[in-house]
Structure 1
Amino acid sequence: MAGASVLTLASPFEIAPGTVLLHAPVDADVETLRRRLLAGDYPDPFVIDDGEHLTLYLGSIDLMQTVMSKAEPAALVPGYGPCMMAWLLFAPAARELALIGLGGGALAKFCHRHLPRTRMTAVETEPAMLAWRALFELPAEGDRFRVHIGDGAAFTAAHAGGIDVLMIDAFDTRGFAPQLARHGFVADAHAALARSGVLVANLAGPPVAYADFVAAVREVFDDQLLAVPVPEDGNHVLIAFKDPAMRPVWHRLHRQAAALAERHGLDLSAFVRQAERVGWRRVPASLRGC
């Protein structure tokens, strides 16, 4: 974004007060920017600073990407973020992690801070997201962390058998990324996972956008899954297991959740209770139409 700087203006959104931060040319017309923001057709990611949190949006106030506490930049705010880390209940020794959809990097930062033995690649389709990496305090790239700009489906297809955990948190202006809501991608994801690999997906936005994804996961992973609602955010986190012998042992998962809370400050107790209530190899009523 050559020729651009960070411009600030009072938030025009009643539901999101604070200061808007934009990467825009120094001579940009502020009134035009304000109109485009309100119309939902601003072309690039922008940030709202409410004093306590920085929230990253993708072009529209309806498309929230990341929320970061200014006091604790590496912490996961309550909601779906901690639930996406529920794979630690099943694969605590994961060495290779791939994250499809970087956004503001909340999940990447948490993993980098708390999992020093895990190597991670974050795949992001939108280069403009990286213009905010300093503000959101993303870790420097190195042996343990790297960012790949490109298509998440193509990346997954090129990594057969080497990934312990594949996290999917990818959206476009219509909702769940359509290139990932295909049977071919899910088959490639299954092939990309190691023998006991785990797939984790954030399902948010219009259900029609991820209906095919859910159906493909159920078929390709032979219903080896947990699908858990996240009431705070109104979405679901789906976890699928490549190991055909995988079965949850609930009393052990409750103990492991307590251990993770002590070790990483990660409270998954409610997640485990919700998962046990929904049941193994079942999806909540809100997803049964998928």
Structure 2
Amino acid sequence: MAEDDYLILPSPFDVAPGRVLLREPRDADPTVLEARLRAGTYEHPFVVDDGEHLMLYLGSIELIQTVMDKNDPQALMPGYSQAMMTFLLFNPQPRDILMVGLGGGALLKACRAQLPRARIEAVDVDPAVLGWRTLFQLPLDDARLAVSVGDGGAFVAAHRGEVDVLMIDAFDETGFAPSLDRHEFVANAHAALSARGLMVTNLAGPGAAYGEFLMAIREVFDDQLLVVPVRDDGNHVLLAFKDPSMRPVWHRAQRMAAALEARTKLALGRFVDDAQRIGWRRLPDTLWQAD
């Protein structure tokens, strides 16, 4: 999609200077749109282009979803998105990956680049999000890639026992998607995973927003979990493992992290250090203190 297909306004945000790209008719009133952007009442995803990065926001400047380096569109920016790739330390060659929540597709592109033989299915509940697919240079669907609009809960429930990695990065204008903060969703996620499958979830905002989700994880996955704090942005990434015999081997994970860093831009070693410090099967207090 060409730049001419967007309505472009000067950014009204001091914290995000540059240009705002909107999917609005050319005859839309820019004064009204600017006022809604400032007030946080604009109900659609929008993009800020600061000259070096494209940043996808979900209706509010407080809810950034994806950052893309315009000079290196395939790179994962530091922060939670890199931490989500820690699943590679425990399953370096997954065959089937499901993603709930697409955003600008940074994780999809990373998985596609690192795992060209894996089949990836991704779903987002908001059709407006998929409208930015071309701008963020996501690949087209093919035999190993399918991107669709739909409910994440129903999407996961439709799978049984074949998913090696389930990635959850699902937020709406209020924060962590409330439809996923339920015991039923976690039970379906567990059932969707293969025998050695794992679920990796981005947690952001106050712990109360996903309290039921965490309690369900502990029950359904029998505390087979690791939490990775993300120093760059205050998020936490949670990995839950279906295999009841799974135990992290820290020196092996460190070697895997070093090997990945040597051939990619994924700096995962510090995440291993932090997860080891917190410990296996433990939820850190910082989860509940997040704001």
Scaled to the shorter chain, the TM-score interval is: over 0.9
Following the alignment from structure 2 to structure 1, what is the Cα–Cα distance between the partners of residues 201 and 255?
A: 24
Matched, 1:256 2:256: yes
Matches within 5 A, 1:124-139: 124-139=124-139
Matched, 1:100 2:67: no
Tell me the residue number matched to 1:152: 152
1:228 shift after superposition: 1.6
Superposition TM-score, scaled by structure 2 size: 0.96
Superposition TM-score, scaled by structure 1 size: 0.97
Q: What RMSD, in angstroms, separates the aligned Cα atoms of the two structures?
A: 1.3
Q: Which moved more, 1:109-118 or 1:95-104?
A: 109-118
Tell me the residue number matched to 1:54: 54
- In the comparison of the two structures, how many residue pairs are matched? 287
Deviations 1:115-153 (A, max 9, x none): 111110011100011111111000110011111210000
Q: Is the 8 A contact 1:5 1:25 kept in 2?
A: no
Secondary structure in structure 2 of the residue aligned to 1:202: strand
Task: Tell me the percent identity.
Answer: 60
Q: What residue identity is the alignment partner of 1:131?
A: G
Following the alignment from structure 2 to structure 1, what is the Cα–Cα distance between the partners of residues 167 and 250?
A: 23
Following the alignment from structure 2 to structure 1, what is the Cα–Cα distance between the partners of residues 102 and 288?
A: 28
1:287 shift after superposition: 2.6
Secondary structure in structure 2 of the residue aligned to 1:92: coil
Following the alignment from structure 1 to structure 2, what is the Cα–Cα distance between the partners of residues 43 and 267?
A: 35
Matched, 1:22 2:22: yes
Deviations 1:176-228 (A, max 9, x none): 00010100000000000000000000000232111111111011101100012
1:289 shift after superposition: 7.8
Name structure 2 gaps, 5 residues minimum. none
1:288 shift after superposition: 5.5
Secondary structure in structure 1 of the residue aligned to 2:131: helix
Matched, 1:114 2:110: no
Matched, 1:218 2:218: yes
Matches within 5 A, 1:71-90: 71-90=71-90
CA gap 1:155/1:101 in 2 versus in 1, 3 angstroms: same
Following the alignment from structure 2 to structure 1, what is the Cα–Cα distance between the partners of residues 180 and 10?
A: 36
Q: What residue identity is the alignment partner of 1:118?
A: A
1:231 shift after superposition: 1.4
Q: Is the 8 A contact 2:101 2:168 kept in 1?
A: yes
Tell me the residue number matched to 1:191: 191
Secondary structure in structure 1 of the residue aligned to 2:23: strand
Secondary structure in structure 1 of the residue aligned to 2:6: strand
Secondary structure in structure 2 of the residue aligned to 1:179: helix
Runs of 4+ in 1 over 4 A off after TM superposition: none
Following the alignment from structure 1 to structure 2, what is the Cα–Cα distance between the partners of residues 153 and 225?
A: 21
Deviations 1:59-83 (A, max 9, x none): 1101111000001001000000010
